[in-house]
Chains A and B, each alone.
Chain A
């Protein structure tokens, strides 16, 4: 059997469209998921017992169930429960954002814990509202301090995003699968698809280590 990787080039346009979809869904889910994760992280460290409990249950549930089950649940069950029809794309982003919220919440909680409670006293003494305190004091520091772990969360999400192909979204994985079925050349096509994922994810993983050193050094109080 001889392999011909060059023929994959003929499908580069289709693969590119798929990659765009993958990147779009990932970025949207990362943005929404991080905001949601920050809220969950705050709730996790809150002094309100019910907020802590709710956030804990949510996070454990989403981390303890397969992402593909969550995805199918959002696709098939959520519309039935809410009585509204969501587009494929919207469902994919909702499902992945819910997951991203759960995995980034721990990163935010850990980062928030490193912010000294003295800063809260200072905020009160300066007359800052709770909103201003969160927006201008807590959130920027939590994000900065969480960057290293958030980046690995992002890499995980980017890889997990391939699951949306299972519900018919035309992402990189979906396009690759179609080409591989149509041409009966799974080895070449799927290898190329894997390489594309790797080429994007790998620098991000590396970047984590570099950033970790730089960011954390700058923040030493």
Chain B
């Protein structure tokens, strides 16, 4: 048994390849080590495979080649010969994800959304889970929404609940896939602030965003992904301030121009 060793990366991706079909090669060989406490922001052009990378990490997709280890444990392995992917669901439980579209369960109240997984898949006592849920909701300024249904919340509130719901499971790594892209502009800040809060607590996270200002503020490291590979990888000041690669420069000048 390999014990969690401090120098081992939290996530270690080796030779990752993923295609949705023979003609749609989306990830074409990615190697990546991410350390605990890293706040890795992934930027890049549309269709570059950013969401796919996060979905693979969440164990939502099969892969064609390569392997991923998490916290020193084997997590995802491609069995090329049999065309299968093995995913260790125990390891997967240490990872949480929030999606671009709201994914709250509409038939459950906010508190019920938060305690469903802790109670039904981890066997936590309902009263204990409820207390924890209310603590999260209070922290995120949603205490008064505990007993309402998702349809009564704004988009920003829904995303904050989705983040709280994932945190209820105490993940070691959080994945955020464009969690503010579906929001009205005036609601973006409240969600980004919640993520900033988590950053202050040193939670490891991987964030895909088109909001370059947010990326610059929150990242401890930036990946520029395009065409299914990592084109550039480094601290935010370097990748976003003084990019080495022509493709990164071109992309950044384009988005900052539109964004400004």
Of the candidate stretches B63-71, B103-111, B193-201, B228-236, the one touching chain A is B103-111
Return 12 A-B CB contacts under 8 Å, by A number: A118-B101, A121-B97, A122-B103, A125-B96, A126-B116, A126-B121, A126-B165, A127-B93, A128-B120, A128-B121, A136-B120, A141-B106
0/1 interface trace, chain B 218-257, chain A, CB 8 Å (1 if under) = 0000000000000000000000000000000000000000
- Taking the closest CB of chain B, its distance from the CB of A130, in whole angstroms, is 11
- Taking the closest CB of chain B, its distance from the CB of A75, in whole angstroms, is 40
Specify which of A116, A118, A127, A140 is in contact with B92 (CB 8 Å cutoff).
Answer: A127
In the complex, A137 has a CB within 8 A of chain B: yes
A residues whose Cβ falls under 8 Å from a Cβ of B: 116, 118-119, 121-122, 124-129, 132, 136-137, 140-141, 144, 218-221
CA A136 to CA B165, docked complex, whole Å = 16
A118 touches B103 (CB 8 A): yes
Indicate the member of A127, A129, A137 with the most B CB atoms within 10 Å: A127
- Taking the closest CB of chain B, its distance from the CB of A140, in whole angstroms, is 5
Specify which of B60, B97, B106, B121 is in contact with A219 (CB 8 Å cutoff).
Answer: B106
B120 touches A125 (CB 8 A): no
Contacts of A218 in B (CB 8 A): 149, 151
Number of chain B interface residues as a range: 20 to 34
A132 touches B149 (CB 8 A): no
Chain A contact surface mostly: helix
Smallest Cβ-Cβ distance to B122: which chain A residue: A127
Contacts of A128 in B (CB 8 A): 116-117, 120-121
CA A74 to CA B150, docked complex, whole Å = 46
The 10 closest A-B pairs by CB, nearest first: A122-B103, A126-B117, A125-B97, A127-B93, A132-B120, A221-B106, A118-B103, A118-B101, A141-B107, A127-B121
B89 touches A125 (CB 8 A): no
In the complex, B102 has a CB within 8 A of chain A: yes
- Taking the closest CB of chain A, its distance from the CB of B54, in whole angstroms, is 10
In the complex, B99 has a CB within 8 A of chain A: yes
B60 touches A221 (CB 8 A): no
CA A221 to CA B158, docked complex, whole Å = 11
Given A218-B151, A221-B150, the answer on whether A129 and B121 have CB atoms closer than 8 Å is yes
Contacts of A220 in B (CB 8 A): 106, 151
A219 touches B107 (CB 8 A): yes
0/1 interface trace, chain B 29-67, chain A, CB 8 Å (1 if under) = 000000000000000000000000001001110000000
CA A24 to CA B219, docked complex, whole Å = 65
Contacts of A127 in B (CB 8 A): 89, 92-93, 117, 121-122, 169
- Taking the closest CB of chain B, its distance from the CB of A164, in whole angstroms, is 36
CA A136 to CA B151, docked complex, whole Å = 18
In the complex, B166 has a CB within 8 A of chain A: yes
B60 touches A124 (CB 8 A): yes
Contacts of B55 in A (CB 8 A): 121
Contacts of B150 in A (CB 8 A): 221
